Amino acid sequence: MNLDLDPAALAFRDEVRGWLAANAPRDPLPSVDTPAGDAAHRAWEQRLAGAVLAVVSWPGRYGGRAAPPLHTLLFEEEYHAAGGPVRIGQNGLFLLAPTLLAHGTQEQRDRILPPMARADEVWAQAWSEPEAGSDLAAIRSRAHRTDGGWRLSGQKTWSSRATVADRAFGLFRSDPAAERHRGLTYLMFDLRAEGVTVRPIRQLDGNPGFAEIFLDDVFVPDADVIGTPGDGWRVAMSTAGHERGLTLRAPGRFVAAAHRLVSRWQEQPDPATRDRVVDAWIGAQAYRMHAFAALDAPPTEASLTKLFWSELDVSLHETALDVLGPHAETDPSWTGGYLFALAGPIYAGTNEIQRGLVAQRVLGLPR
């Protein structure tokens, strides 16, 4: 569709397209969760940052170009169309950074954001715990007050990228007398600090995509608290929409996948799968148009969006596997995406939790 882009947007899109055509890796990089892949993905991020394309929406002082939201959408479309690598820094870039920009101190932003943008520092998230999954407010890991900071103890799990990351962020119970959402503090900590043990967890695809983090009296200075101690839940939730809300869910990712699926179907048209291929394309197009419409509208409840893209991702990849038939099993370009898609309805708040939020917050049904 002709989006009637203004000259600045067109120029930006052309710049991104041209740069990616000249610079994007022709062959897939090694898995991001291996040592070789870690190095290759960090090197890739350095090149992106060198072209001021790593974080286009951020202010210039942190490595961005203060681009408007439309440009971010266009960047993501071009990035996924070019088959750009997984963003190794995505937890930091799209989850921690918005929190710092909203609640961090100037000192924190200046110290943390520029190395994040260059992937000199890669961040892992540390939300879930063995007894706090969908029920995130059941967090038990403790932050004890000490001179000049806090001491962290407890166990975090399902921590994406923790095996290769440098630092992590998460919620800790700083007031043991307070219950549930109260008495939590948002803290950042060094994964190589004394008292931190990271144990990789192999995912169902065999790769160590996430990890357990054990914390044994780990010191964190006051400078690494985001927001007010005890106010962590509010700080975390005010930008939680960003995980449900960007990059992994960038419309460009789904449009690119739908484009590949349609092209593959057209090579050997089979009436038995046609309608499902069309539905995958329509879903991606709906998601894309929804994102463009959202630029001119009040924010959509992030739960609606998360439900749509995560279910679309699964059905699109299921359709692709059925289109390929028995050959799909040996085609990692689709099986990898399929296995990754299966995680979508689980992470960032399961889809059952999201449906509950839609029912209560959007539809006004009783709690």
Partner 1 sequence: MRLVPSVEQTGFATTLHDMLSAARVPEAADSWAEGNHGPGRQLWTQLADLGVTALAIPARHGGLDATPIDLVIAAEELGHHAVPGPIPETLATVPTLLAALTETVPGGEAERWLSELAAGRALATLTAPPWLPFAVDADAAELVLLVDGDAVGTARRGTVHSSMDRTRRLYEVESAGPVEICPAVGRALDLGALVCAAQLLGAGRALLEAAVAHARTRVQFGRAIGGFQAVQQRLADVAVGLEFARPLVYAAAVTLTPRDVSAAKVACSDAANRAARAALQVHGAIGYTQEHGLGRWVTKVRALSLSWGAPADHRARVMAELTKGATWN
Q: Which residues are catalytic?
A: 243
Longest Cα–Cα distance in the chain: 70
CB of 359 to partner 1, least distance (A): 3
Distances (CA, A) of 4 to 1, 9, 70, 252, 298: 9, 10, 12, 18, 21
Chain center to CA of 307: 15
282 near partner 1 (CB under 8 A): yes
Q: Identity (one letter) of the amino acid at 86?
A: V
Binding residue for partner 1, selected from 48, 88, 168, 307, defined by CB under 8 A: 307
Report helix, strand and coil shares of the chain as percent, to nearest 5: 50, 15, 35
CB of 123 to partner 1, least distance (A): 30
CB of 277 to partner 1, least distance (A): 7
Binding mask 241-270 for partner 1 (x = CB under 8 A): --------------x--xx--xx--x----
CB of 190 to partner 1, least distance (A): 40
CB of 106 to partner 1, least distance (A): 35
96 vs 47: CA distance, rounded Å: 22
Q: Which range touches partner 1 (CB under 8 A), out of 2-10, 119-127, 174-182, 207-215?
A: 2-10
Burial of 207 (0-12, 13-18, 19+ CB in 10 A): middle
Binding residue for partner 1, selected from 83, 149, 208, 356, defined by CB under 8 A: 356
Binding residue for partner 1, selected from 22, 177, 204, 297, defined by CB under 8 A: 297
Residue 286's SS3 state is helix
Helix (H) or strand (E) holding 329: none
316 vs 321: CA distance, rounded Å: 9
289 near partner 1 (CB under 8 A): yes
Residues lying near partner 1 in the complex (CB under 8 A) are found at 1-4, 81, 255, 258-259, 262-263, 266, 274-275, 277-279, 281-283, 285-287, 289-290, 292-293, 296-297, 300, 303-304, 307-308, 352, 354-356, 358-360, 362-367
